Amino acid sequence: MTTTLAGALNAGLRKAMERDPKVVLMGEDVGRLGGVFRVTDALQKDFGERRVIDTPLAESGIIGTAFGMALRGYRPVCEIQFDGFVYPAFDQIVSQVAKIHYRTQGNVKAPLTIRIPYGGGIGAVEHHSESPEAYFAHTAGLRVVSPSTPADAYLLIQQAISCDDPVVFFEPKRRYWDRGEVDESVDLASALPMDRARVVRGGRDATLVAYGTMTATALTAAGIAATEGHDLEVIDLRSLSPIDFDAIETSVRKTGRLVVVHEAPMFAGIGAEIAARVSQRCFYQLESPVLRVAGYDIPYPPAKLEKHHLPDPDRILAAVDKALAA
């Protein structure tokens, strides 16, 4: 089928709920309203109020309740309505959810999926356009993933729900309305594993690594570069913890150059870990330093200024030119 990224997530949630009666959705306005982005549209109507639960406005309570349900054998899927609303639940996620498997020496699992629409570019007000993924990728015990296309969203959400580890699932809200093909016949067992990156464009001159919203931006930059005679390889990370460093290393050993793109602030971001690891593993193959293109190290700006804050093809291509000139 052809659908939007939001529609693909809805279809993936529906598939997971049909497959396993222990899958339960929870969050603010996820039921009758269908979520502010309509990702859970019609699911309460079809599965009932006991499986699609409208919660109070209490993120810590949502995650705490879901954590307890996960310990009792359910597979709860929580929606945090916007990225900037996750912080009241941060203690529950990093102090309890992430540590229970290790604390119990592997005897207790927490199959909990936490959906978070994230990122900017939609003209939203304060606390509605943040990119907090590095906080969670830094926390041992959590898996962190982010789809960039409807096809990936459809499969990744099902893989996250079926995973016995807690998964923080970042949804690029600027891409919710992007349309693409989704193959509903793909079986989870034969799908690309959740922790594997995907080469979405082959190339030989330099490697662009991106995820979520920035994958499409990197592909646009690569298309422009091609008109100027530069052949760029683009890798969609998909998983931010763990990161598929083998895929990145394979590409960099071929191209000799790497530019990492994300819209979160640059300091101590996902790109910093990738730059450090690749510099260590590919030192003798690198023809230039690893470069990063990111949001600026400031609180997210007002909507009328966000286009100056977010990485765009021009900023990416400027970094590519710098890498190629080294």
* Catalytic site positions: 128
| C-alpha–C-alpha distance, residues 182 and 185, integer Å | 9
Q: Which of 238, 175, 196, 206 is nearest to 316 (CA)?
A: 206
Instruction: Specify whether the CB–CB gap between 206 and 255 falls below 8 A.
Output: yes
Do strands 258-265 and 206-210 pair parallel, antiparallel, or not at all (unpaired)?
A: parallel
Backbone angles phi, psi at 190, to 5 degrees: -100, -5
| C-alpha–C-alpha distance, residues 243 and 248, integer Å | 9
In the chain, which residue ranges form alpha helices assigned H by DSSP?
5-19, 43-47, 59-71, 90-91, 100-103, 133-137, 150-162, 213-227, 245-255, 270-281, 306-309, 313-325
Q: Which of 6, 12, 62 is nearest to 37 (CA)?
A: 6
Tokens of 240: 């931010």
CA angle 286, 261, 149 (to 5 degrees): 120
Do strands 113-118 and 75-79 pair parallel, antiparallel, or not at all (unpaired)?
A: parallel
- The structure tokens 């995650």 sit at 63
